[in-house]
Amino acid sequence: MRVLVVGSGGREHAICWGIAKSNKVKKIYCAPGNAGISEFAENVEIPADNINKLLEFALKEKIDFTIVGPEQPLSLGIVDLFRDNKLLIFGPSKFASQLESSKEFSKLFMERNNIPTASFKSFTSYDEAKAYLNESNLPIVIKADGLASGKGVKVCMEMEEANSFLKEIMLDKIFSKSGEKVVIESFLEGEEASFFVFSDGEKILCLDSSQDHKRLLDDDKGPNTGGMGAYSPAPIIDEETKEKILNEIINPVFEAFKKENFEYTGILYVGLMINNKKPSVVEFNCRFGDPETQPLLFRIESDIFDLFYQTALKQIDQYQLIWKRKTAISVVLASLGYPMNPETGGEIKELESFKNTDDEFVFHAGTKFLDNKVVISGGRVLNITALGHDLEDAINKVYDSINKVELKNFHYRNDIGKKGLVKKTK
Ligand SMILES: Nc1ncnc2c1ncn2[C@@H]1O[C@H](COP(=O)(O)OP(=O)(O)O)[C@@H](O)[C@H]1O
Ligand SMILES: [Mg+2]
Protein backbone atom coordinates (compact mmCIF):
# COMPACT_ATOMS: atom_id res chain seq x y z
CA MET A 1 0.00 0.00 0.00
CA ARG A 2 1.10 3.56 -0.76
CA VAL A 3 0.63 5.81 2.23
CA LEU A 4 0.81 9.58 2.64
CA VAL A 5 1.42 11.03 6.11
CA VAL A 6 0.72 14.75 6.49
CA GLY A 7 2.82 16.74 8.97
CA SER A 8 6.41 17.26 10.09
CA GLY A 9 6.66 16.81 13.84
CA GLY A 10 7.71 14.15 16.32
CA ARG A 11 4.18 12.82 16.11
CA GLU A 12 4.51 12.24 12.37
CA HIS A 13 7.95 10.70 12.79
CA ALA A 14 6.46 8.24 15.28
CA ILE A 15 3.57 7.49 12.89
CA CYS A 16 5.97 6.86 9.98
CA TRP A 17 8.24 4.73 12.18
CA GLY A 18 5.21 2.75 13.39
CA ILE A 19 3.50 2.12 10.06
CA ALA A 20 6.77 1.32 8.28
CA LYS A 21 6.93 -1.89 10.34
CA SER A 22 3.75 -3.20 8.73
CA ASN A 23 4.15 -5.60 5.83
CA LYS A 24 1.06 -4.00 4.27
CA VAL A 25 2.98 -0.77 3.70
CA LYS A 26 5.11 -0.64 0.55
CA LYS A 27 5.85 3.07 0.28
CA ILE A 28 5.43 6.07 2.58
CA TYR A 29 5.42 9.71 1.58
CA CYS A 30 5.45 12.44 4.19
CA ALA A 31 4.46 16.05 3.51
CA PRO A 32 6.50 17.96 4.40
CA GLY A 33 8.32 15.60 6.78
CA ASN A 34 11.65 16.22 8.56
CA ALA A 35 15.19 14.85 8.54
CA GLY A 36 14.40 11.85 10.76
CA ILE A 37 11.28 10.94 8.82
CA SER A 38 13.31 10.55 5.64
CA GLU A 39 14.61 7.23 7.00
CA PHE A 40 11.11 5.77 6.57
CA ALA A 41 9.41 7.99 4.04
CA GLU A 42 10.08 10.07 0.99
CA ASN A 43 9.60 13.67 2.05
CA VAL A 44 7.42 15.76 -0.24
CA GLU A 45 7.77 19.52 -0.22
CA ILE A 46 4.13 20.41 0.31
CA PRO A 47 3.15 22.32 3.44
CA ALA A 48 0.64 20.48 5.65
CA ASP A 49 -1.95 23.22 5.19
CA ASN A 50 -1.89 23.27 1.38
CA ILE A 51 -4.72 20.78 1.05
CA ASN A 52 -5.28 21.30 -2.69
CA LYS A 53 -1.65 20.50 -3.46
CA LEU A 54 -1.84 17.46 -1.18
CA LEU A 55 -4.90 16.25 -3.07
CA GLU A 56 -3.17 16.76 -6.39
CA PHE A 57 -0.19 14.77 -5.11
CA ALA A 58 -2.32 11.94 -3.71
CA LEU A 59 -4.22 11.57 -6.98
CA LYS A 60 -1.08 11.70 -9.10
CA GLU A 61 0.85 9.23 -6.92
CA LYS A 62 -2.15 6.91 -6.51
CA ILE A 63 -2.00 7.09 -2.74
CA ASP A 64 -4.09 4.33 -1.12
CA PHE A 65 -4.36 5.84 2.33
CA THR A 66 -3.61 9.21 3.93
CA ILE A 67 -3.01 9.83 7.64
CA VAL A 68 -3.28 13.44 8.81
CA GLY A 69 -1.16 14.44 11.81
CA PRO A 70 -1.81 18.11 12.62
CA GLU A 71 -4.99 20.12 13.13
CA GLN A 72 -4.65 22.82 10.43
CA PRO A 73 -5.38 20.62 7.40
CA LEU A 74 -8.26 18.98 9.28
CA SER A 75 -9.82 22.34 10.10
CA LEU A 76 -9.42 23.35 6.44
CA GLY A 77 -11.39 20.29 5.34
CA ILE A 78 -8.73 17.93 3.97
CA VAL A 79 -10.83 14.90 4.93
CA ASP A 80 -13.91 16.15 3.05
CA LEU A 81 -11.79 17.06 0.05
CA PHE A 82 -10.07 13.65 -0.14
CA ARG A 83 -13.34 11.77 0.40
CA ASP A 84 -15.03 13.79 -2.35
CA ASN A 85 -12.23 12.51 -4.58
CA LYS A 86 -12.73 8.91 -3.45
CA LEU A 87 -9.50 8.77 -1.48
CA LEU A 88 -9.30 6.93 1.83
CA ILE A 89 -8.14 9.25 4.60
CA PHE A 90 -7.83 9.11 8.39
CA GLY A 91 -9.27 12.02 10.36
CA PRO A 92 -12.45 13.93 11.16
CA SER A 93 -14.42 16.10 8.71
CA LYS A 94 -14.17 19.86 8.68
CA PHE A 95 -17.44 20.07 10.60
CA ALA A 96 -16.31 17.63 13.29
CA SER A 97 -12.89 19.31 13.55
CA GLN A 98 -14.62 22.35 14.97
CA LEU A 99 -14.40 20.53 18.28
CA GLU A 100 -10.79 21.69 18.17
CA SER A 101 -10.88 24.67 15.81
CA SER A 102 -13.58 26.51 17.77
CA LYS A 103 -13.44 26.50 21.53
CA GLU A 104 -16.96 27.95 21.65
CA PHE A 105 -18.29 25.14 19.42
CA SER A 106 -16.75 22.55 21.69
CA LYS A 107 -17.88 24.19 24.94
CA LEU A 108 -21.46 24.48 23.61
CA PHE A 109 -21.38 20.79 22.64
CA MET A 110 -20.25 19.88 26.16
CA GLU A 111 -22.75 22.18 27.80
CA ARG A 112 -25.80 20.84 25.99
CA ASN A 113 -24.69 17.25 26.60
CA ASN A 114 -23.76 17.68 30.27
CA ILE A 115 -20.13 16.73 29.81
CA PRO A 116 -18.13 17.85 32.87
CA THR A 117 -16.07 20.90 31.95
CA ALA A 118 -15.33 24.41 33.28
CA SER A 119 -18.26 26.86 33.16
CA PHE A 120 -17.85 29.49 30.46
CA LYS A 121 -19.25 32.35 28.44
CA SER A 122 -18.25 33.42 24.95
CA PHE A 123 -18.08 36.91 23.49
CA THR A 124 -17.70 38.75 20.21
CA SER A 125 -17.98 42.18 21.86
CA TYR A 126 -14.94 43.47 23.71
CA ASP A 127 -17.04 45.66 26.03
CA GLU A 128 -19.27 42.78 27.06
CA ALA A 129 -16.29 40.47 27.58
CA LYS A 130 -14.53 43.11 29.69
CA ALA A 131 -17.61 43.71 31.83
CA TYR A 132 -18.02 39.96 32.42
CA LEU A 133 -14.34 39.53 33.18
CA ASN A 134 -14.33 42.26 35.79
CA GLU A 135 -17.11 40.53 37.70
CA SER A 136 -15.35 37.15 37.58
CA ASN A 137 -13.29 35.48 40.26
CA LEU A 138 -9.59 34.75 39.95
CA PRO A 139 -7.89 32.74 38.62
CA ILE A 140 -9.71 33.04 35.31
CA VAL A 141 -8.98 31.47 31.93
CA ILE A 142 -9.15 33.43 28.69
CA LYS A 143 -9.14 31.63 25.34
CA ALA A 144 -9.13 32.80 21.76
CA ASP A 145 -11.87 30.79 20.06
CA GLY A 146 -9.89 29.62 17.01
CA LEU A 147 -6.62 27.79 16.38
CA ALA A 148 -3.60 29.65 17.74
CA SER A 149 -0.78 27.06 17.80
CA GLY A 150 -1.05 26.67 21.56
CA LYS A 151 -0.63 30.40 22.23
CA GLY A 152 -4.30 31.38 22.44
CA VAL A 153 -4.92 30.52 26.09
CA LYS A 154 -3.90 32.26 29.29
CA VAL A 155 -4.61 31.14 32.81
CA CYS A 156 -4.66 34.50 34.60
CA MET A 157 -3.85 34.95 38.27
CA GLU A 158 -4.33 38.72 38.22
CA MET A 159 -7.10 40.86 36.76
CA GLU A 160 -4.60 43.16 35.11
CA GLU A 161 -3.06 40.27 33.18
CA ALA A 162 -6.53 39.06 32.16
CA ASN A 163 -7.57 42.50 30.96
CA SER A 164 -4.47 43.01 28.91
CA PHE A 165 -4.71 39.54 27.27
CA LEU A 166 -8.37 40.19 26.43
CA LYS A 167 -7.39 43.50 24.89
CA GLU A 168 -4.57 41.90 22.88
CA ILE A 169 -6.95 39.30 21.46
CA MET A 170 -10.00 41.47 20.79
CA LEU A 171 -8.63 44.94 20.08
CA ASP A 172 -5.04 44.39 18.93
CA LYS A 173 -6.19 41.21 17.14
CA ILE A 174 -2.93 39.33 17.78
CA PHE A 175 -4.55 36.08 16.62
CA SER A 176 -6.47 37.81 13.78
CA LYS A 177 -9.60 35.77 12.89
CA SER A 178 -8.91 33.16 15.58
CA GLY A 179 -9.53 35.87 18.18
CA GLU A 180 -12.79 37.27 16.83
CA LYS A 181 -14.53 35.33 19.54
CA VAL A 182 -13.25 34.82 23.05
CA VAL A 183 -14.19 32.19 25.60
CA ILE A 184 -13.82 33.11 29.25
CA GLU A 185 -13.97 30.12 31.54
CA SER A 186 -13.62 29.23 35.18
CA PHE A 187 -10.36 27.77 36.50
CA LEU A 188 -10.18 24.02 37.05
CA GLU A 189 -7.97 22.73 39.85
CA GLY A 190 -6.07 19.50 39.39
CA GLU A 191 -3.57 17.68 37.25
CA GLU A 192 -3.80 17.28 33.49
CA ALA A 193 -3.69 14.03 31.53
CA SER A 194 -4.48 12.97 27.97
CA PHE A 195 -6.88 10.34 26.75
CA PHE A 196 -7.10 9.26 23.10
CA VAL A 197 -10.00 7.51 21.46
CA PHE A 198 -9.98 6.08 17.92
CA SER A 199 -13.41 6.26 16.31
CA ASP A 200 -14.53 4.72 13.02
CA GLY A 201 -17.78 6.68 13.04
CA GLU A 202 -19.69 4.00 14.91
CA LYS A 203 -17.41 2.10 17.22
CA ILE A 204 -14.57 3.32 19.39
CA LEU A 205 -11.25 2.03 20.71
CA CYS A 206 -9.61 3.73 23.70
CA LEU A 207 -5.85 3.90 24.01
CA ASP A 208 -3.96 3.63 27.29
CA SER A 209 -3.45 6.83 29.27
CA SER A 210 -0.65 9.30 28.81
CA GLN A 211 0.51 12.57 30.29
CA ASP A 212 2.15 15.55 28.65
CA HIS A 213 4.18 18.27 30.40
CA LYS A 214 3.01 21.61 28.99
CA ARG A 215 5.21 24.05 30.87
CA LEU A 216 8.71 24.94 29.75
CA LEU A 217 10.52 24.47 33.08
CA ASP A 218 10.82 21.81 35.78
CA ASP A 219 8.06 21.58 38.38
CA ASP A 220 5.55 22.93 35.84
CA LYS A 221 6.97 26.44 35.93
CA GLY A 222 7.41 28.91 33.08
CA PRO A 223 5.30 29.53 29.98
CA ASN A 224 3.09 27.02 28.21
CA THR A 225 4.66 25.17 25.28
CA GLY A 226 3.54 22.63 22.70
CA GLY A 227 4.65 19.97 25.21
CA MET A 228 8.05 19.20 26.75
CA GLY A 229 7.72 15.47 27.31
CA ALA A 230 5.22 12.70 27.83
CA TYR A 231 4.90 9.19 29.11
CA SER A 232 2.44 6.32 28.99
CA PRO A 233 0.71 4.84 30.90
CA ALA A 234 0.07 7.64 33.40
CA PRO A 235 -0.55 6.46 36.99
CA ILE A 236 -2.86 9.45 37.60
CA ILE A 237 -5.43 7.56 35.50
CA ASP A 238 -5.88 4.58 37.82
CA GLU A 239 -8.70 2.06 37.31
CA GLU A 240 -11.21 4.08 39.31
CA THR A 241 -10.43 7.31 37.43
CA LYS A 242 -10.52 5.49 34.10
CA GLU A 243 -13.99 4.15 34.87
CA LYS A 244 -15.13 7.68 35.55
CA ILE A 245 -13.54 8.97 32.35
CA LEU A 246 -15.39 6.31 30.38
CA ASN A 247 -18.74 6.65 32.14
CA GLU A 248 -18.87 10.39 32.61
CA ILE A 249 -17.03 11.61 29.51
CA ILE A 250 -16.16 9.20 26.69
CA ASN A 251 -19.41 7.22 26.51
CA PRO A 252 -21.67 10.28 26.89
CA VAL A 253 -19.63 12.15 24.24
CA PHE A 254 -19.99 9.36 21.68
CA GLU A 255 -23.68 8.88 22.56
CA ALA A 256 -24.15 12.61 22.00
CA PHE A 257 -22.41 12.33 18.60
CA LYS A 258 -24.97 9.66 17.63
CA LYS A 259 -27.89 11.67 18.95
CA GLU A 260 -26.75 14.76 17.07
CA ASN A 261 -25.95 12.87 13.85
CA PHE A 262 -22.41 14.08 14.24
CA GLU A 263 -20.15 11.64 12.46
CA TYR A 264 -16.78 11.54 14.20
CA THR A 265 -13.96 9.61 12.53
CA GLY A 266 -10.27 9.58 13.44
CA ILE A 267 -8.82 10.35 16.84
CA LEU A 268 -10.56 12.29 19.57
CA TYR A 269 -8.00 13.70 21.96
CA VAL A 270 -9.60 14.43 25.29
CA GLY A 271 -7.55 16.84 27.37
CA LEU A 272 -8.48 16.15 30.98
CA MET A 273 -8.14 17.87 34.32
CA ILE A 274 -8.23 15.37 37.16
CA ASN A 275 -8.99 16.58 40.63
CA ASN A 276 -9.14 13.96 43.39
CA LYS A 277 -9.91 11.29 40.81
CA LYS A 278 -12.72 13.42 39.32
CA PRO A 279 -12.14 14.10 35.62
CA SER A 280 -13.37 17.04 33.59
CA VAL A 281 -12.62 18.14 30.05
CA VAL A 282 -10.15 20.97 29.44
CA GLU A 283 -10.51 20.72 25.67
CA PHE A 284 -10.97 18.40 22.74
CA ASN A 285 -8.45 18.05 19.95
CA CYS A 286 -9.16 16.23 16.71
CA ARG A 287 -5.85 14.46 16.22
CA PHE A 288 -3.03 12.75 18.03
CA GLY A 289 -1.09 14.70 20.64
CA ASP A 290 2.52 15.67 20.21
CA PRO A 291 4.52 14.46 22.20
CA GLU A 292 2.05 11.85 23.60
CA THR A 293 2.01 9.94 20.29
CA GLN A 294 5.69 9.07 20.67
CA PRO A 295 5.45 7.08 23.94
CA LEU A 296 2.01 5.68 23.05
CA LEU A 297 3.04 4.23 19.68
CA PHE A 298 6.36 3.08 21.20
CA ARG A 299 4.33 0.78 23.46
CA ILE A 300 2.14 -0.78 20.78
CA GLU A 301 2.97 -4.38 19.93
CA SER A 302 0.28 -4.94 17.27
CA ASP A 303 0.38 -3.56 13.71
CA ILE A 304 0.32 0.24 14.01
CA PHE A 305 -0.65 0.74 10.38
CA ASP A 306 -3.72 -1.44 10.89
CA LEU A 307 -4.84 0.67 13.82
CA PHE A 308 -5.25 3.64 11.48
CA TYR A 309 -6.34 1.62 8.46
CA GLN A 310 -9.06 -0.48 10.10
CA THR A 311 -10.41 2.68 11.73
CA ALA A 312 -10.66 4.41 8.35
CA LEU A 313 -12.32 1.30 6.86
CA LYS A 314 -14.95 1.56 9.62
CA GLN A 315 -14.00 -1.82 11.05
CA ILE A 316 -12.18 -0.84 14.19
CA ASP A 317 -13.62 -3.94 15.89
CA GLN A 318 -11.42 -6.05 13.60
CA TYR A 319 -8.32 -4.59 15.18
CA GLN A 320 -6.71 -6.25 18.14
CA LEU A 321 -4.72 -3.67 20.02
CA ILE A 322 -1.82 -5.23 21.93
CA TRP A 323 0.25 -3.17 24.33
CA LYS A 324 3.75 -3.84 25.56
CA ARG A 325 3.31 -4.06 29.32
CA LYS A 326 6.00 -1.45 29.76
CA THR A 327 6.26 2.29 30.26
CA ALA A 328 7.45 4.56 27.49
CA ILE A 329 8.72 8.07 27.97
CA SER A 330 9.72 10.82 25.60
CA VAL A 331 11.74 13.90 26.56
CA VAL A 332 11.69 16.90 24.24
CA LEU A 333 14.97 18.63 23.43
CA ALA A 334 13.97 22.17 22.47
CA SER A 335 16.11 24.80 20.85
CA LEU A 336 17.36 27.65 23.02
CA GLY A 337 14.85 30.50 23.10
CA TYR A 338 11.84 28.19 22.68
CA PRO A 339 8.90 28.95 22.82
CA MET A 340 9.31 32.72 22.30
CA ASN A 341 12.25 32.98 19.88
CA PRO A 342 13.66 29.56 19.07
CA GLU A 343 17.16 29.61 17.62
CA THR A 344 17.28 27.63 14.40
CA GLY A 345 19.94 26.75 11.83
CA GLY A 346 22.54 25.11 14.09
CA GLU A 347 23.90 21.70 13.13
CA ILE A 348 22.79 18.80 15.35
CA LYS A 349 26.04 16.94 15.92
CA GLU A 350 24.76 14.95 18.89
CA LEU A 351 22.57 12.58 16.86
CA GLU A 352 25.16 9.82 16.56
CA SER A 353 25.47 9.63 20.33
CA PHE A 354 21.92 8.29 20.65
CA LYS A 355 20.81 4.75 19.91
CA ASN A 356 17.86 3.81 17.73
CA THR A 357 16.56 0.41 18.85
CA ASP A 358 13.22 -1.11 19.92
CA ASP A 359 13.88 0.23 23.44
CA GLU A 360 15.27 3.62 22.62
CA PHE A 361 14.59 5.97 19.75
CA VAL A 362 15.15 9.57 18.75
CA PHE A 363 12.09 10.98 17.04
CA HIS A 364 12.76 14.18 15.14
CA ALA A 365 10.54 17.25 15.21
CA GLY A 366 12.10 20.55 14.03
CA THR A 367 14.97 19.14 11.96
CA LYS A 368 15.89 19.31 8.29
CA PHE A 369 18.78 18.53 6.00
CA LEU A 370 21.01 21.35 4.86
CA ASP A 371 24.09 20.50 2.78
CA ASN A 372 23.88 16.90 4.00
CA LYS A 373 23.89 17.99 7.60
CA VAL A 374 20.95 17.75 10.00
CA VAL A 375 20.12 21.22 11.32
CA ILE A 376 17.59 22.68 13.75
CA SER A 377 14.53 24.02 11.94
CA GLY A 378 11.99 24.49 14.72
CA GLY A 379 11.39 25.06 18.43
CA ARG A 380 10.97 21.47 19.50
CA VAL A 381 13.81 19.57 17.90
CA LEU A 382 14.24 15.99 19.13
CA ASN A 383 12.22 13.57 21.23
CA ILE A 384 14.47 11.17 23.12
CA THR A 385 12.26 8.16 23.75
CA ALA A 386 12.84 5.07 25.91
CA LEU A 387 10.98 2.01 27.04
CA GLY A 388 11.35 0.65 30.58
CA HIS A 389 9.78 -2.18 32.54
CA ASP A 390 8.16 0.46 34.74
CA LEU A 391 8.09 4.24 34.97
CA GLU A 392 11.18 4.51 37.15
CA ASP A 393 13.16 2.33 34.76
CA ALA A 394 11.94 4.34 31.75
CA ILE A 395 12.93 7.62 33.41
CA ASN A 396 16.38 6.26 34.30
CA LYS A 397 16.94 4.99 30.78
CA VAL A 398 15.91 8.16 29.02
CA TYR A 399 17.93 10.46 31.29
CA ASP A 400 20.94 8.11 31.18
CA SER A 401 20.95 8.52 27.41
CA ILE A 402 20.47 12.25 27.62
CA ASN A 403 23.07 12.82 30.33
CA LYS A 404 25.71 10.88 28.40
CA VAL A 405 25.65 13.54 25.72
CA GLU A 406 26.75 17.11 26.05
CA LEU A 407 23.70 19.08 24.90
CA LYS A 408 24.79 22.70 24.87
CA ASN A 409 22.35 23.90 22.25
CA PHE A 410 19.22 22.47 23.79
CA HIS A 411 16.83 23.12 26.61
CA TYR A 412 14.97 20.19 28.18
CA ARG A 413 13.15 19.36 31.38
CA ASN A 414 14.81 17.13 33.95
CA ASP A 415 11.61 15.96 35.58
CA ILE A 416 9.54 14.31 32.86
CA GLY A 417 7.56 11.48 34.45
CA LYS A 418 8.43 12.40 38.04
CA LYS A 419 4.82 13.32 38.80
CA GLY A 420 3.83 9.75 38.01
CA LEU A 421 6.51 8.35 40.34
CA VAL A 422 5.30 10.41 43.26
CA LYS A 423 1.80 9.06 42.68
CA LYS A 424 2.95 5.45 42.55
CA THR A 425 4.80 5.56 45.84
CA LYS A 426 1.97 7.32 47.71
N1 LIG B 1 -10.40 25.92 32.69
C2 LIG B 1 -9.10 25.72 32.89
N3 LIG B 1 -8.61 25.62 34.15
C4 LIG B 1 -7.30 25.46 34.38
N5 LIG B 1 -6.35 25.42 33.42
C6 LIG B 1 -6.78 25.51 32.13
C7 LIG B 1 -8.16 25.66 31.80
N8 LIG B 1 -8.27 25.72 30.46
C9 LIG B 1 -7.02 25.64 29.98
N10 LIG B 1 -6.12 25.49 30.97
C11 LIG B 1 -4.64 25.37 30.83
O12 LIG B 1 -4.24 25.99 29.61
C13 LIG B 1 -3.69 25.02 28.71
C14 LIG B 1 -4.12 25.36 27.30
O15 LIG B 1 -5.54 25.35 27.20
P16 LIG B 1 -6.30 24.51 26.09
O17 LIG B 1 -7.75 24.71 26.25
O18 LIG B 1 -5.80 23.11 26.13
O19 LIG B 1 -5.90 25.25 24.75
P20 LIG B 1 -4.82 24.99 23.60
O21 LIG B 1 -4.25 23.63 23.81
O22 LIG B 1 -5.65 25.10 22.38
O23 LIG B 1 -3.85 26.09 23.73
C24 LIG B 1 -4.20 23.69 29.24
O25 LIG B 1 -3.34 22.64 28.87
C26 LIG B 1 -4.24 23.93 30.72
O27 LIG B 1 -2.93 23.81 31.28
MG1 LIG C 1 -4.45 21.98 24.87
H helical segments located in 41-156: 51-60, 71-76, 78-84, 94-101, 103-112, 126-134
Give me the residues paired with residue 376 across strands: 367
Ligand closest to 214 (CA) is: 1
Ligand 1 is surrounded, with C-beta below 6 A, by 118, 141, 143, 150, 152-153, 155, 185, 187-188, 192, 214, 224, 271, 282-283
DSSP string, 211-224: EE--EEEGGGEEEE
With respect to CATH, is domain 191-425 assigned 3.30.470.20?
Answer: yes
Mean per-residue pLDDT for 342-358? Answer: 95
Q: What confidence score (pLDDT) does residue 277 get? A: 97
How far is the centre of ligand 1, averaged over its atoms, from the C-alpha of 157 (Å)?
A: 14
Q: What percent of the chain has pLDDT over 70?
A: 99
Residue 24 pLDDT class (50, 70, 90 cuts): very high
**2-92: which CATH number, 3.40.50.10540, 3.40.50.80, 3.40.50.880, 3.40.50.20?**
3.40.50.20
The per-residue pLDDT for 425 is: 55
Residues of the chain with CATH 3.30.1490.20: 119-186
Q: What is the pLDDT of residue 112?
A: 98
Q: Per-residue confidence at 424, pLDDT binned at 50, 70, 90?
A: low
Torsion angle of alpha carbons 120, 122, 127, 132, nearest 10°?
Answer: -10
Within 13 Å, how many C-alpha atoms sit on residue 161's CB side?
Answer: 11
HEC letters along 139-186: CEEEEECCCCCCCCEEEECCHHHHHHHHHHHHCCCCCHHHHCCEEEEE
CATH 3.40.50.20 domain locations along the chain: 2-92
Ligand 1 atom index nearest CA of 154: 12
The arithmetic mean of pLDDT across residues 382-393, rounded, is 98
Percent of the chain with pLDDT over 90: 97
Stretch (H or E) spanning 421 = helix 418-425
Q: What is the CATH number of domain 119-186?
A: 3.30.1490.20
Q: Name the residue with the closest Cα to ligand 1, atom 20.
A: 150
Name the residue among 42, 45, 95, 50 with its Cα closest to residue 68: 50
Q: Where in the chain is the domain with CATH 3.30.470.20?
A: 191-425
Confidence of residue 172 (pLDDT cuts 50, 70, 90): very high
The atom number, within ligand 1, closest to the CA of 188 reads 3
> Pairing mode, if any, of strands 191-200 and 265-275?
antiparallel
Sign of CA dihedral 262, 263, 269, 270: positive
The protein residue with its alpha carbon nearest to ligand 1, atom 24, reads 282
